[in-house]
């Protein structure tokens, strides 16, 4: 008996009823439906799958450089087969190591956790949850994806350049990133890196403007701003952050292009390069780039984190069968985080020789972010309290997100305090901090979103058992990898070191590094299991039999099981209430399009 037959013996009839809804109006060709689609749902899937490709590549890169860190003495002949001269004799060269680290960072931060996360869910959820047929400009939305695609291609091509891809760290600080003579990776690899990033900025602006316009203008009747699900609020603030900060990054890159190619001295001064001699550039400031970079770079952290927070709030409420606690406080804290995100960038620069007074203002503002963050955490905890928790895969990842956000957020209080940062800056403590709070936590938000909205995306469920294995191994693995790194940081171990063997102060962690590398490989393998589950379930998963499988209140669950372009077959539903009437007046859930009853209690 086929998988399909076993799984759907009982629901076949129901499926017939909904089977051809997606053929409704215009007849799409393959190209307009799957490639140059203007349907926000398809664009979301394009973002998601491209993001997945990058996640695999970026993850694989981390496995490769973890091999070097974990087994610095060993050689792996197969590495030479894959990487050629970059792994002469089966050992990754320093140049390759730094290229891998840099590309891993760039790709994960921008392509996976920005495009893959907010690109996917902003596209998918905004029209569905606010009650719109599509984005304000579907065409611009399509362009947004294709600019991202172009950025991906350029970034990918930079991996195959003779002098290697850019290898100066994802933050690309000049002068290192400006001078090909200082590092081979800063030659044509860097040109491609900047072009790719410029295309990415365009993509993200096209997307962001569209998200903002859609949320502000295209809400269905009755959907006031204060009735929006928290996902939409989070995606709204994310888009605002992106639109206001990415242009600053681009301006920084443009100056860098000028310094690299046209002999200007925005970032360059007083430089003597071995083998080249003194450069003519004088009067520039290398620190200027860092200000421009981190003016995006810090909001970027929240661009990554806020969508995860929004989705976690929604998923947590749905699966606790209980309203999100403190809706207005959740919106307020998102707003506070969005504002503060712009006012803390220099905490990445405490040890650059920054004016101490300026530094102290940034300490104050940075630690202030802990307040809205604390509000969010306590509100999530209270949402669980006296709920009726269903551990769907989405919910598991949402709980995991909260755990990781607490763990990684608390170490932010260490690093945000400049007098402690002066000791811990650029050590493994920082690696542990941002991987937990931004990297893994946001990944968890993304997984939660994928598991939760997969039924809406593909009309099928993902396999639960595989999802449970995926969650528990990843959760344990994330802590096993990053928790001990705090200790390496407390030993002062600097990040971005290819080899620690000559260092009397840092070489005591050989075994630990091996352990971490091993866990990293297992966790990576489990992510492949997740991908398998994802793609297998698209075609063979258990079919969704009811319109609203999670019993959720938001509007996307009022659309057909497989909504076509335009989302609703008839009228767009009218909204009469907020999104969180769970467990109210003894009713398990009350969908947003249900009119308020005469005898309903007020909350």
Partner 1 sequence: MTMFLITAVTVLIFLVIFQIAKATEYVGILKGEEKSRKESNKINGLLMVVFLVLGLIGVWYCNHLLFNKTLLAHDASSVEGALVDSMLWVTLAVTGIVFIGTQIVLFLFAYKYQEQDDRKVYFFAHSNKLEFIWTIIPAITLTVLVVIGLRNWYLFTGEPPKGAMVVEVTGKQFGWIFRYPGKDAAFGKKYYKNIDNASNSLGIIWEDELSHDDLVMEQTMYLVKGKPVKFIIGSRDVIHDVGLTHFRMKMDAVPGIPTTLWFTPKYTTNEMKEITGNPNFQYEISCDQMCGNGHYSMKGVIEVLDQEEYDAKMAGQKPYYYAAFPDKDPSNTKPVVADTAKVAATPAEVSTKVIAKN
Task: Give Rg (Cα) of the chain.
Answer: 25
Torsion of CA 367, 371, 376, 382, to 10 degrees: 130
Structure-token pair, residue 113: 């956790």
By beta-carbon proximity to partner 1, the closer residue of 243 and 420 is 420
By beta-carbon proximity to partner 1, the closer residue of 258 and 498 is 498
We find the least distance from the C-beta atom of residue 357 to partner 1, in angstroms, to be 9
Gap between the Cα atoms of 334 and 327, Å rounded? 11
We find the least distance from the C-beta atom of residue 360 to partner 1, in angstroms, to be 5
By beta-carbon proximity to partner 1, the closer residue of 131 and 359 is 359
Structure-token pair, residue 81: 């087969």
Terminal CA-CA length for the chain:
52
DSSP string, 515-543: HHHHHHHHHHHHHHHHHHHHHHHHHHSPB
We find the least distance from the C-beta atom of residue 247 to partner 1, in angstroms, to be 25
We find the least distance from the C-beta atom of residue 518 to partner 1, in angstroms, to be 12
We find the least distance from the C-beta atom of residue 40 to partner 1, in angstroms, to be 31
Gap between the Cα atoms of 578 and 328, Å rounded? 11
By beta-carbon proximity to partner 1, the closer residue of 417 and 594 is 417
By beta-carbon proximity to partner 1, the closer residue of 45 and 542 is 542
DSSP string, 107-120: IIIIIIIIIIIIIH
Contacts of 599 (CB under 8 A, 6+ apart): none
List own/partner pairs for 583-592 with CB under 8 A and 24 or more apart: 583/321, 583/322, 583/323, 583/387, 583/388, 584/323, 588/321, 588/551, 589/321, 589/551, 589/552, 589/553, 590/553, 591/548, 591/553, 591/557, 591/558, 592/223, 592/227, 592/553, 592/554, 592/555
We find the least distance from the C-beta atom of residue 143 to partner 1, in angstroms, to be 34
We find the least distance from the C-beta atom of residue 509 to partner 1, in angstroms, to be 7
By beta-carbon proximity to partner 1, the closer residue of 185 and 242 is 185
Burial annotation 97-116 (CB, 10 A radius, 16+ → b, else e): bbbbbbbbbbbbbbbbbbbb
Gap between the Cα atoms of 416 and 365, Å rounded? 9
We find the least distance from the C-beta atom of residue 510 to partner 1, in angstroms, to be 11
By beta-carbon proximity to partner 1, the closer residue of 148 and 534 is 534
We find the least distance from the C-beta atom of residue 198 to partner 1, in angstroms, to be 22
By beta-carbon proximity to partner 1, the closer residue of 29 and 274 is 274
SS3 427: strand
Q: Which residues pair with 278 in a beta bridge?
A: 272
We find the least distance from the C-beta atom of residue 213 to partner 1, in angstroms, to be 30
Gap between the Cα atoms of 65 and 87, Å rounded? 11
Nearest to 557 by CA among 601, 588, 593, 512: 593
We find the least distance from the C-beta atom of residue 261 to partner 1, in angstroms, to be 18
Residue 277 DSSP one-character state? E
CB 601 within 8 A of CB 584: yes
By beta-carbon proximity to partner 1, the closer residue of 207 and 409 is 409
By beta-carbon proximity to partner 1, the closer residue of 35 and 278 is 278
Residue 80, judged by CB atoms within 10 A of its CB (0-12, 13-18, 19+), counts as middle
Contacts of 339 (CB under 8 A, 6+ apart): none
By beta-carbon proximity to partner 1, the closer residue of 243 and 287 is 287
SS3 284: coil
We find the least distance from the C-beta atom of residue 433 to partner 1, in angstroms, to be 11
Nearest to 169 by CA among 274, 305, 290: 290
By beta-carbon proximity to partner 1, the closer residue of 304 and 579 is 579
Gap between the Cα atoms of 93 and 99, Å rounded? 10
By beta-carbon proximity to partner 1, the closer residue of 217 and 508 is 508
Residue 432 DSSP one-character state? H
Structure-token pair, residue 122: 């902003």
Preceding peptide of 560 cis, ω within 30°: no
Length of the chain: 603
Give just the sign of the alpha carbon dihedral 73, 78, 81, 83: negative
We find the least distance from the C-beta atom of residue 429 to partner 1, in angstroms, to be 10
Pairing between strand 277-278 and 582-584? unpaired
We find the least distance from the C-beta atom of residue 428 to partner 1, in angstroms, to be 11
We find the least distance from the C-beta atom of residue 195 to partner 1, in angstroms, to be 21
By beta-carbon proximity to partner 1, the closer residue of 21 and 600 is 600
By beta-carbon proximity to partner 1, the closer residue of 236 and 325 is 325
By beta-carbon proximity to partner 1, the closer residue of 222 and 549 is 549
Residue owning tokens 């398990």: 588
Residue 35 DSSP one-character state? I
Structure-token pair, residue 89: 């004799």
Residue owning tokens 């639109």: 243
Residue 568 DSSP one-character state? -
We find the least distance from the C-beta atom of residue 305 to partner 1, in angstroms, to be 18
For the beta carbon of residue 585, count every other beta carbon within 10 angstroms. Answer: 11
């Amino acid at each position: 008996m086929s998988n399909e037959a076993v799984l759907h013996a009982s629901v076949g009839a129901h499926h017939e009823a909904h089977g051809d809804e997606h053929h409704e109006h215009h007849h799409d060709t393959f190209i307009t439906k799957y490639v140059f689609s203007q349907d926000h749902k398809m664009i979301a899937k394009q973002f998601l799958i491209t993001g997945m490709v990058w996640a695999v590549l970026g993850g694989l890169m981390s496995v490769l450089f973890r091999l070097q860190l974990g087994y610095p003495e060993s050689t792996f002949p197969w590495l030479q087969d894959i990487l050629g001269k970059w792994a002469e004799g089966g050992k990754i060269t320093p140049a390759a190591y730094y290229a891998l680290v840099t590309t891993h960072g760039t790709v994960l931060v921008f392509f996976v956790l920005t495009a893959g996360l907010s690109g996917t869910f902003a596209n998918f959820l905004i029209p569905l949850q606010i009650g719109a047929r599509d984005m304000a400009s579907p065409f611009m939305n399509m362009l947004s994806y294709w600019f991202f695609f172009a950025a991906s291609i350029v970034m990918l091509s930079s991996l195959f350049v003779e002098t290697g891809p850019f290898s100066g760290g994802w933050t690309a600080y000049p002068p290192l990133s400006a001078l090909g003579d200082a590092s081979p990776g800063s030659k044509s690899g860097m040109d491609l890196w900047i072009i790719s990033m410029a295309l990415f900025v365009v993509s993200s602006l096209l997307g962001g403007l569209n998200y903002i316009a859609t949320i502000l203008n295209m809400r269905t009747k009755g959907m006031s701003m204060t009735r929006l699900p928290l996902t939409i609020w989070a995606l709204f603030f994310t888009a605002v952050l992106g639109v206001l900060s990415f242009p600053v990054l681009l301006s920084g890159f443009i100056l860098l292009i000028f310094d690299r190619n046209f002999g200007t001295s925005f970032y360059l001064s007083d430089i003597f390069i071995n083998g080249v001699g003194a450069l003519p550039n004088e009067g520039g400031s290398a620190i200027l780039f860092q200000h421009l970079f981190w003016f995006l770079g810090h909001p970027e952290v929240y661009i990554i984190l806020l969508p995860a927070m929004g989705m976690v709030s929604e998923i947590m409420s749905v699966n606790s069968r209980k309203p999100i606690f403190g809706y207005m406080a959740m919106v307020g804290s998102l707003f506070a985080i969005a504002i503060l995100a712009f006012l803390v960038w220099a905490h990445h620069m405490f040890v650059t020789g920054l004016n101490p007074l300026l530094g102290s203002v940034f300490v104050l503002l940075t630690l202030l972010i802990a307040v809205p963050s604390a509000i969010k955490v306590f509100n999530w905890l209270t949402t669980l309290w006296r709920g009726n928790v269903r551990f769907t895969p989405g919910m598991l990842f949402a709980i995991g997100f909260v755990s990781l956000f607490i763990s990684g957020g608390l170490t932010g209080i260490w690093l945000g305090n400049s007098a402690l940062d002066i000791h811990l800056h650029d050590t493994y403590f920082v690696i542990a901090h941002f991987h937990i709070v931004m990297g893994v936590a946001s990944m968890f938000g993304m997984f939660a979103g994928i598991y939760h909205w997969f039924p809406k995306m593909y009309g099928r469920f993902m396999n639960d058992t595989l999802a449970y294995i995926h969650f528990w191994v990843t959760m344990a693995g994330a802590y096993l990898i990053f928790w001990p790194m705090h200790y390496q940081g407390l030993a002062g171990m600097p990040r971005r070191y290819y080899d620690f063997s000559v260092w009397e102060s840092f070489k005591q962690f050989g075994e630990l590094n091996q352990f971490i590398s091993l866990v990293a490989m297992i966790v990576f393998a489990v992510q492949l299991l997740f991908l398998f589950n994802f793609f297998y379930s698209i075609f063979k998963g258990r079919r969704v039999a009811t319109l609203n499988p999670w019993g959720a209140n938001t509007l996307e669950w009022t659309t057909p099981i497989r909504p076509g372009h335009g989302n609703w077959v008839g009228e767009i539903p009218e909204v009469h209430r907020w999104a969180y009437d769970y467990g109210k007046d003894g009713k398990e859930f009350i969908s947003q399009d249900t009119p308020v009853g005469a005898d309903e209690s007020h909350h």
